[in-house]
Structure 1
């Protein structure tokens, strides 16, 4: 009886440390209309440590590039850069198999991004991750972007081929940068945690 009531408590104490929420962000999708368009949908997210951000690319050419609050339309040295993703205009806005790029959050510090390949940062095509509610807010970040000079994309990242359902998996990627950890690392932690849990269960069973 003690064993059956104690085991669920152990399991519940471990699993929240392993599994986080997923934030799906459409790139090249209008967050107001839900259709193909400008920027990100949603354009502001508040993930916690351990959560994942999944950028899903819509038709046209798009790239998610990390920037800074003061210079929204200039790539941050050493920051996240998904590379250019090219998606056929014939695909629906929420078609299955769209290319995705996933990162896992390991800090709740504010991070700032723009769609460089889309070339419309100056129109507010930006994404704020964990922005403060005062001072350097998401709204001010958008205004900073709109004050930026009109420019063409300067990314040196290679472009992917046009995407359809058969090539989507090849276009998906996971990036490892200082601000994030890869999904593989999260899986490794999960395996380690599960190993500890199994060891504790074996010990408890031996006692009974």
Structure 2
């Protein structure tokens, strides 16, 4: 009985500390990564999350969306993830509080490709590479996009939507709290909870 209790507690603690290692990657949509101002593209335009990490798409002024595509056809949705069209007032500052966000949990480290369908700027550099490789680099993805015809944006949804693939989990859409994307941001909370759960184990030893 005691052994079973300890095993359960260890499993819970292990799950909690897995959350400590999760990171959030804040990606601005409709933000120029070079100037940091409102503009074309994603900021940053390439990220390397691992399983369990979360991509937080934060939308800037105008109409923008984050739509999953493929390396070879960057500006055509592949039927996977679609944030839906997010409309933001042009009067808001580039990093104004409360900008709309859509959160996406990554399930593995396979490459993923996205473009700003609603913004219509895919061929101008409005693309995001997630876990690009040497063979399929972020630069090559942008180059493929630059050669693509302007996509038809009429099929974009006006609300947030998600169609998960093997590499993606479900999404949620919330106002942004402007939190930084730092691995281990909730370390102290989990440390306290872990200590409370470990205390009974120590008492039984």
How high is the TM-score relative to the length of structure 2? 0.76
CA drift of 1:177 comes to: 1.6
Q: How does 1:90-169 map to 2 (within 5 A)?
A: 90-132=91-133, 134-159=134-159
Structure 2 alignment gaps of length 5 or more? 1-9, 173-191
Who is 2:3 aligned against?
A: none
Provide the C-alpha distance between the structure 2 equivalents of 1:91 and 1:201, rounded to a whole number of angstroms: 49
Who is 1:70 aligned against?
A: 72
How high is the TM-score relative to the length of structure 1? 0.74
Q: How does 1:164-179 map to 2 (within 5 A)?
A: 175=162, 177-178=164-165, 179=167
Contact 2:16/2:194, CA 8 A, preserved across alignment? no
* Deviation by residue 1:156-184 (Cα, 9 ceiling, x = unmatched): 4125xxxxxxxxxxxxx795723223479
* Deviation by residue 1:63-91 (Cα, 9 ceiling, x = unmatched): 100000000000012x1000000000000
Who is 1:46 aligned against?
A: 48
CA drift of 1:124 comes to: 1.5
Q: CA RMSD in A?
A: 2.7
Provide the C-alpha distance between the structure 2 equivalents of 1:49 and 1:98, rounded to a whole number of angstroms: 26
CA drift of 1:112 comes to: 0.2
Q: 1:55 is matched with which residue: 49, 54, 57?
A: 57
SS of 1:17 mapped into structure 2:
helix
Contact 1:102/1:174, CA 8 A, preserved across alignment? no
- Number of equivalenced pairs: 174
Contact 2:116/2:127, CA 8 A, preserved across alignment? yes
Q: Is 1:205 the counterpart of 2:203 in the alignment?
A: yes
